[in-house]
Amino acid sequence: MDMRSRMLVWRTGVLLRRENLRRRRLLRRELASYTPAELVDLEAVIERYPLGQTHELRSMVGELRLQRQWSQPWRAA
């Protein structure tokens, strides 16, 4: 592979990673605006699909749930 082809492959990889990062940030921002009831509905919908198709979305919803649980004020039982 000549230098020009290597640079094209490298540049394409950089652009793809950058675009995926932008897309994930946008999706996380949108998911953060969901209410707890909407998240439950979304989880019910994505459970119908194979993990291979929804793994990214499932992990984001899980992270959001953990984030919300840890940011709630502690209450004595």
CA gap 39, 37 in Å, rounded = 5
Same domain flag for 14 and 51: no
Domain hosting 16: range is: 1-31
**Per-residue confidence (pLDDT) for residue 74, from 0 to 100:** 75
Helix axes of 51-71 and 3-32: crossing angle, nearest 10 degrees: 50
Query: Would you write out the chain's pLDDT as a tens digit for each of its 77 residues?
Result: 899 999 999 999 999 999 999 999 999 999 999 999 999 999 999 999 999 999 999 999 999 999 988 887 777 65
**Per-residue confidence (pLDDT) for residue 76, from 0 to 100:** 63
The distance from CA 75 to its chain's CA centroid, rounded to whole angstroms, is 30
**Per-residue confidence (pLDDT) for residue 25, from 0 to 100:** 96
Q: DSSP letters along 5-60, please?
A: HHHHHHHHHHHHHHHHHHHHHHHHHHHHTS-HHHHHHHHHHHTTS-HHHHHHHHHH
**Per-residue confidence (pLDDT) for residue 69, from 0 to 100:** 86
Stated length of the chain = 77
Same domain flag for 57 and 44: yes
Same domain flag for 45 and 70: yes
